[in-house]
Structure 1
Amino acid sequence: PEEVQRWLEAHGYGAVTRVQPVGGGCINNGERLRTHSGATFFLKTNTAAPPDMFAREAEGLEALRVPDGPRVPRPYLWGADFLLLEDLAPAAPRADFWETFGQRLAALHNHTGPAFGFAHDNYIGSTPQPNPWTDDGYTFFAEHRLGFQARLAFTRGLLPADDVRRVERLAARLPDLIPPQPPSLIHGDLWSGNVIADAQGEPALIDPAAHYGWAEADLAMTALFGGFPERFYRAYETAHPLESGYRQRFDLYNLYHLLNHLNMFGTGYLGSVQRILRQWGN
């Protein structure tokens, strides 16, 4: 985009001399830009993105940039169809990568907010994620996570009405199933593809759906698509003790992400949603 070129030149980096496509994203396109000065930047583009999607991502990245947390790329410039970021120059992870990540994620989660929610609504993948400030975590997760996704899936013809009612019944039982937790600053979309090693091999986070929510919910997604090494969880628990049995609760939190995948990718995820509803249903 012209705005990117103007920004680079105005800040003394000069013209873009090389563009290297970077794979890995299923929603946006990624490119590494090398400039005349030798400095590199990471550019995300998506001409079909909602007009505020990259602005909301930039806000989330800035919020997650806490001194003791995992590294997060700095957002420099954004518009309706692009986001220019600090280039983390991903490399091989250090030997203690997962222990370090566990400690730093715990440090991130130790940053708490006044309530559940966020300064703005944002996106989880390409799906809107409502974040109204809500005092009660159970209400927040029931209405603005499970309920929102279930209603969206129903209106799109992806979730039968019976299953919507089962989601609502399960949401009403959350206080009996999930321990009280403060509103922690969380990444919100913490699968393995959004955890990378920077140029020094240190852990870094990308592509957030940031908000103040339950720390256990952030941890749960780490187990959804393959899981993280055991030493990550041990390091996390040392720095941020958890209520016993937290792994048994992962499916409850991940119902949100599976409903979102149902909304984004279609009925291939319906069986996973229904399995959790059967397992936790009454």
Structure 2
Amino acid sequence: MLAARASGSAMQQQVMARWLAQQGLELAAMQPVGGGCIHRAWQLELRDGSRRFAKTNRAALLPVLEAEADGLAALQAAAGSAGSAADLPTIPEPLALAELEGEAVLLLSWLDLGGSHKQGWRELGRGLARLHRASLNSGDGRFGWHRRNFIGSGPQHNNWHCSWAEFFSEQRLVVQLQLAAEAGRAIPQAQALLEEVPHWLAAHEPEACLVHGDLWSGNAGLLHGGGGAVFDPAVYRGDREVDLAMARLFGGFPAAFFEGYQQEWPLPAGHQQRVELYNLYHLLNHANLFGGGYWHQSAACIQELLRSWS
């Protein structure tokens, strides 16, 4: 857990126990669990038999955890306006956030993940559609978010725009392509793409839903006992299609997930063509974060978009 010290795991557990005690919680045990490539993740077992989930990282990354907590709270608020929670994805509750002895810590409610049945994925798709629709109960129709946040560990800009075409072009593609150029990895035909994107999306006028923003298969799952969950968001108000597009990337979700979404709230005409355009953002982000073959994938995607949309 907290930064490795000569005193070892016993001292680390003591630090966590003292922090939890301040919140009226008594720690019985803690153990590492899988939690992605950015943070360390922990299962916390309490004396009353319940469990919590904790993420830790160096103190400099406290803003990343703050943004995650903000996104989870926003998704929960949107779900709260929808009516029956039984019809919606479970969203972990951000319980506490702190800096402890040089480490950032985010405490969350526990998700008992482990289901894999087809009907569960179909219900998760329906639930996401309901969550998207419920989020329209708030907001003012603009695209963006009240703060910058993070896509993985990369910066995500969210300046408000009234036009989706302008938002996606300027706050998503321009930012990533500028980062690439600053790193000496300017991508051929990038400028030609940026000149075309506003025209490609001009006739597409989506509603400004609250989107998860980072909905790949590692950030969602089914729960033991039924239901599904989404977590680790990078929220903003955008075209709901971006979540469905990313759900096809990096391994993708089962077909039943998309069937369930379509049954609940069908996507508009042309959504298939926009998938690769929306996912270019994530390819570029991965290229900027990890390099390697993502540069080639990003360049190939741009070439294909210019060919297929012409």
Match of 1:100 among 107, 123, 145: 123
Q: Which residue matches 1:39?
A: 50
Q: What's the % identity of the aligned pairs?
A: 38
Match of 1:172 among 188, 195, 198: 198
Alpha-carbon offset, residue 173 of structure 1: 2.8
Structure 1 residues 2-27: Cα deviation after superposition (integer angstroms, max 9, x where no partner): 7753442133321x222221124011
Of 181-190 and 68-77, deviating more is 68-77
Structure 1 residues 28-51: Cα deviation after superposition (integer angstroms, max 9, x where no partner): 111101122322111111116533
Q: Indicate whether 1:275 and 2:300 are aligned.
A: yes
Q: Which residue matches 2:238?
A: 213
Alpha-carbon offset, residue 116 of structure 1: 0.6
SS at match of 1:189: coil
Distance change in 2, residues 1:273/1:95 (3 Å): closer
Q: Indicate whether 1:191 and 2:216 are aligned.
A: yes
Q: Which amino acid aligns with 2:242?
A: A
In 2, the alpha carbon distance for the partners of 1:264 and 1:249 equals: 24
Distance change in 2, residues 1:255/1:38 (3 Å): same
Structure 2: tracts of 5 or more residues without a match? 3-13, 83-87
Tell me if structure 2 keeps the 8 A contact 1:116–1:133: yes
Q: Which amino acid aligns with 1:204?
A: A
Q: Which residue matches 2:36?
A: 25
What is the aligned-residue RMSD (CA, Å)? 2.0
Of 109-118 and 139-148, deviating more is 109-118
Alpha-carbon offset, residue 187 of structure 1: 0.3
SS at match of 1:62: helix
Tell me if structure 2 keeps the 8 A contact 1:147–1:167: no
Deviating 4+ runs (over 6 angstroms): none
In 2, the alpha carbon distance for the partners of 1:234 and 1:196 equals: 16
Q: Which residue matches 1:230?
A: 255
Q: Which amino acid aligns with 1:155?
A: E
- Count the aligned residue pairs: 279
In 1, the alpha carbon distance for the partners of 2:59 and 2:196 equals: 35
- TM superposition score normalised by structure 1: 0.91
Q: Indicate whether 1:91 and 2:103 are aligned.
A: no
Q: Indicate whether 1:9 and 2:36 are aligned.
A: no
Tell me if structure 1 keeps the 8 A contact 2:189–2:303: no
SS at match of 2:62: coil
SS at match of 2:282: helix
Equivalence map 1:238-249=2 (5 Å): 238-249=263-274
Structure 1: tracts of 5 or more residues without a match? none
Q: Indicate whether 1:201 and 2:230 are aligned.
A: no
SS at match of 1:83: strand
Q: Which amino acid aligns with 1:54?
A: L
Tell me if structure 1 keeps the 8 A contact 2:130–2:264: yes
In 2, the alpha carbon distance for the partners of 1:79 and 1:165 equals: 42
In 1, the alpha carbon distance for the partners of 2:255 and 2:63 equals: 37
In 2, the alpha carbon distance for the partners of 1:79 and 1:13 equals: 15
Tell me if structure 2 keeps the 8 A contact 1:13–1:39: no
Of 112-121 and 187-196, deviating more is 112-121
In 2, the alpha carbon distance for the partners of 1:106 and 1:100 equals: 10
Higher relative contact order (CA 8 A, sep 6+): 1
